[in-house]
């Protein structure tokens, strides 16, 4: 039951993008088309889960025993960068169209603060390995859910007669704010 609550909390109540405001750059940048949003979401789920598991193990078995916890951020960033390179190579071979569609945003996963944030949150919340993996995957799905929801609404907005000065980024920011308010309505359901 605790894992179900953790998943519901990560996806809806404490959504990494809409309530904690981590990962805003790819959230705004890749959300113009549903296909690229889904591809980015899949990449984020994979990298977030794998990076959290690896950084957890590094923290527990290398950094803490050697008393070099101060190296946490640098080590985490290096692990995330290596994983993103791996995803980029695989994506280039498996789906060249998705690789082209993601463009510059795929390397942005490296600097996506949601991935680094979740890896650090796992350590701060003192989760075990299983809890860390579930928490990371749930946050990845929460990021993907918000990204797909945002992309779907943005595609619909293109069909509407929006004033010229509000098209593009201005309406996207207003929409992001409204989605954030909507997700904050779930606050208090789960801690």
Query: How does pLDDT run along the chain (191 residues), one tens digit per residue?
Result: 889 989 988 898 888 988 888 888 888 887 888 888 888 888 888 889 999 999 999 999 999 999 999 999 999 999 998 888 887 888 888 888 877 766 666 777 777 788 999 999 999 999 999 999 999 999 999 999 999 999 999 999 888 888 988 888 889 899 999 999 988 888 877 66
pTM here? Answer: 0.86
For residue 139, CA distances in Å to 76, 98, 115 come to 17, 22, 9
Q: What six digits make up the tokens of 165?
A: 């000065």
Instruction: Give every CB contact of residue 126 below 8 A, 6+ residues apart in sequence.
Output: none
For residue 144, CA distances in Å to 40, 121, 140 come to 8, 19, 6
Q: How many CB atoms lie within 10 A of CB 72?
A: 18
Instruction: Give every CB contact of residue 141 below 8 A, 6+ residues apart in sequence.
Output: 7, 10, 11, 45
pLDDT at residue 147, as a whole number:
93
pLDDT at residue 102, as a whole number:
67
Place of tokens 């957890």: 56
Place of tokens 């985490």: 76
CA distance linking residue 140 with residue 52, whole number of Å: 11
For residue 83, CA distances in Å to 24, 87, 100 come to 20, 6, 19
């Amino acid at each position: 039951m605790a894992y179900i609550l953790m998943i519901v909390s990560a996806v809806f109540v404490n959504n990494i993008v809409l309530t904690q405001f981590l990962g805003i750059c790819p959230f705004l940048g890749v959300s113009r088309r549903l296909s690229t949003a889904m591809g980015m979401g899949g990449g984020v789920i994979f990298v977030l889960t794998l990076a959290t598991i690896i950084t957890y193990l590094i923290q527990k078995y290398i950094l803490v025993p050697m008393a070099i916890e101060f190296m946490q951020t640098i080590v985490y960033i290096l692990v995330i960068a290596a994983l993103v390179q791996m995803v980029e190579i695989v994506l280039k071979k498996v789906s060249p169209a998705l690789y082209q569609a993601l463009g510059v945003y795929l390397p942005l996963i490296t600097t996506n603060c949601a991935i680094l944030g979740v890896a650090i949150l796992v350590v701060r919340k003192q989760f075990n390995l299983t809890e860390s993996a579930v928490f990371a995957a749930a946050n990845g799905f929460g990021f993907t859910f918000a990204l797909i929801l945002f992309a779907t609404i943005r595609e619909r907005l293109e069909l509407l007669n929006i004033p010229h000065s509000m098209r593009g980024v201005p309406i996207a920011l207003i929409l992001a704010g409204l989605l954030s308010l909507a997700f904050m309505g779930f606050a208090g359901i789960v801690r």
